[in-house]
Amino acid sequence: MNNIVILSALGGHDVAARAIKEQFDLRYDDCKVIIIPMEEYAGRMLTHINDGFYTFCCRFAPWMFGVYFKFMSARLTRKLRRLGKKYSQHNDGSLIKEESSLFPVKKLKNIYDRFEPKVIVSVQSMPHGLAVAAKKRHKFNSKIVAVISDYALDKLYVRYGCDGYVVDNHEMKKDFKAFNFEDEKIKVYGLSAFNKFLVKNDKEKMRKHFNLPDRKTVIITGGSFGSGKTKDIFEHLIQNFKDINVVVIAGRNEKLKRKLEKIKEKNKAENGFVMGFTTEFDKLLDAADVMICKPGAMSVNESFLKGVPVISVYPMPSVEAANVKYFKEKNLTMCADNPKDVAEKLSILLNDEAKYEEYVTAITNHAKKNATKNIADYIYSLIEK
What mean pLDDT value characterizes the chain? 87
Q: What number is the average pLDDT over the span 203-227? A: 87
Give the span between the Cα atoms of 19 and 9, in whole angstroms: 13
pLDDT at 373: 97
Query: What structural domains does the chain harbor?
Result: 2-191+370-384 (3.40.50.2000), 195-366 (3.40.50.2000)
Q: Range with the lowest mean pLDDT among 86-90, 175-179, 253-257? A: 86-90
133, 11, 220, 154 alpha-carbon torsion, rounded to 10°: 0
Q: How confident is the model at residue 332 (pLDDT cuts 50, 70, 90)?
A: very high
Exposure letters 197-221 (e unless 16+ CB within 10 A, then b): bbeeeeeeebbeebebeeeebbbbb
Give the span between the Cα atoms of 321 and 161, in whole angstroms: 28
Interhelix angle 297-306/353-366, nearest 10 degrees: 110
Q: Range with the lowest mean pLDDT among 33-42, 56-65, 243-252? A: 56-65
Helix (H, G, I), strand (E, B) or coil at 167: strand
Q: What number is the average pLDDT over the span 137-152? A: 92
Q: How confident is the model at residue 86 (pLDDT cuts 50, 70, 90)?
A: low
pTM of the model: 0.88
